[in-house]
Amino acid sequence: METVVNESNRVILTRGIDSNPLSNVSWYDGPNLLKSEIPVNTTSFVIAKARCTDTKNFTLTASNVVQTNVSSLIELIVNCKPISDINNITLEVLDDTGFAFSTTIIAYPKPDYLLLTDDGTISNGIEHNMTVNAVNNFTLYITKTSVKPGEYGKFVIYVNNAFGETSISVNLVPQKKPTSPRLLTVACNVWTAKIQWMSFFNGGDHQTFTVHSLIAQQEASRSETLRDWGENKLHYVHLQNLQPSTHYVFYVVAQNKYGNISSEMVSCKTLPEDYTNYNHIVGGSVAGTILLVILILVTVFLIRRRYACTCKISKTFHNLIQNSRNRIYHAMKIIFSTRGNCVSV
């Protein structure tokens, strides 16, 4: 026996149990126990708000001392509008190749469907069919053997029954080399330049960027490979190791597995090197070096003077002591005269 309700309604499933003595009963959703009662002759299971996925067979079992596990199926059907497991699909397709995809639809009763392009015309050349998986579960298959350049774009699958409608948007995207990025600004400094650009369609495949610089039509440098931050996003890089006061031409290359494409070229001259601070540093360094050399020379001069004087004084004392104590006074005169000579050395 089936019970039919509308979506969002409250559901009470009730069954009488004819047994003597009274039975213990259990409600199951497949292997999952939902509820148990002991001992009863009437049992109920309540769903506060029915959903489309509640369309199923519940199992009721009853047992007493005379007989165990007597079961029956209670079928619940919920009328509901179609629900798709996905509502936006992007298909990346090469020219002259086809596509195929499927989507699961939950609905009761079985829905109808229609394929229309954005302008409301029937989409031709697409094969489609719907299979039944369960009373409220269906799979919709969509295929096309070949897509021509003019057939890219969007079409919509409308799925409906008496209780409502859902739509599935399908976007056919051509796979090709990326759309050329747009170079926005180039700001040159002395040794670096900041380059900014806008990204566009990646060609249906992951794209990356490199920034190049030219001097007189010869490549001077390039950036590392840069990842794509998304379509219509601002990107930038600081290009290093440039030369001061030099004219450069910059451009951006976008690439994916189908090819690469360059932006327009923009020229920029790096700034001249600022020598003001550098001269101060060099001048200070040279002056410091000269002063250090002078100090070293003066120190050496004084040390040599002192050493020479000490040697002469010591030698004089030695000779005087050897000759006579009585000549000490004379020796002192000689010492002082020697000291005067030391100053002139």
For 78-133, the pLDDT digits (tens) are: 999 999 999 999 888 887 788 999 999 999 999 999 999 877 777 778 899 999 99
H or E element at residue 317: helix 276-323
- Among candidate residues 239, 269, 299, the one where a domain is terminated: 269
* Residue 343: per-residue pLDDT: 35
- Among candidate residues 269, 301, 336, the one where a domain is terminated: 269
Judgement on whether residues 241 and 226 belong to the same structural domain of the protein: yes
* Distances in whole angstroms, Cα of residue 81 to Cα of each of 72, 140, 167, 233: 29, 16, 11, 39
What is the dihedral sign for C-alpha 73, 77, 78, 80?
positive
Q: Domain range for residue 207?
A: 182-269
Contact between residue 121 and residue 154 where contact means Cβ atoms under 8 Å apart: no
Q: Is the pLDDT of residue 340 over 50?
A: no
Tokens of 11: 């559901």
* Residue 326: per-residue pLDDT: 52
Q: Is the pLDDT of residue 28 over 50?
A: yes
* Residue 255: per-residue pLDDT: 97
Judgement on whether residues 56 and 111 belong to the same structural domain of the protein: no
| Banded model confidence at residue 286, pLDDT cuts 50, 70, 90 | low
Q: Is the pLDDT of residue 252 over 70?
A: yes
Tokens of 154: 């969007």
| Banded model confidence at residue 190, pLDDT cuts 50, 70, 90 | very high
| Banded model confidence at residue 285, pLDDT cuts 50, 70, 90 | low
Contact between residue 181 and residue 209 where contact means Cβ atoms under 8 Å apart: yes
Judgement on whether residues 231 and 295 belong to the same structural domain of the protein: no
* Residue 148: per-residue pLDDT: 83
* Residue 196: per-residue pLDDT: 97
| Banded model confidence at residue 331, pLDDT cuts 50, 70, 90 | very low
Chain centre to alpha carbon of residue 210: 17
| Banded model confidence at residue 310, pLDDT cuts 50, 70, 90 | very low
325 DSSP 8-state letter: G
pLDDT in tens, 125-154: 889 999 999 999 999 999 999 888 778 888
Average pLDDT over residues 293-304: 67
Q: What CATH number has the domain bearing residue 253?
A: 2.60.40.10
Judgement on whether residues 116 and 195 belong to the same structural domain of the protein: no
Q: Is the pLDDT of residue 158 over 90?
A: yes
| Banded model confidence at residue 336, pLDDT cuts 50, 70, 90 | very low
Average pLDDT over residues 270-297: 65
Judgement on whether residues 154 and 212 belong to the same structural domain of the protein: no
Number of domains in the chain: 4
- Among candidate residues 115, 150, 174, the one where a domain is terminated: 174
Judgement on whether residues 119 and 188 belong to the same structural domain of the protein: no
Judgement on whether residues 112 and 167 belong to the same structural domain of the protein: yes
91-105, 119-133, 261-275, 304-318 — which one is most confidently predicted on average?
261-275
Contact between residue 199 and residue 232 where contact means Cβ atoms under 8 Å apart: yes
Average pLDDT over residues 191-197: 97
Judgement on whether residues 265 and 198 belong to the same structural domain of the protein: yes
More confident residue, 86 or 287: 86
Chain centre to alpha carbon of residue 33: 45
* Residue 293: per-residue pLDDT: 62
Identify the weakest region by mean pLDDT among 46-55, 287-296, 335-344.
335-344
Judgement on whether residues 40 and 76 belong to the same structural domain of the protein: yes
* Residue 94: per-residue pLDDT: 81
Q: Is the pLDDT of residue 272 over 80?
A: yes
CA distance 196 to 182: 9
| Banded model confidence at residue 345, pLDDT cuts 50, 70, 90 | very low
Residues with Cβ within 8 Å of residue 77, at least 6 apart in sequence = 2, 3, 4, 5, 55, 108, 135, 136
Q: Is the pLDDT of residue 2 over 70?
A: yes
Judgement on whether residues 232 and 250 belong to the same structural domain of the protein: yes
Judgement on whether residues 106 and 51 belong to the same structural domain of the protein: no
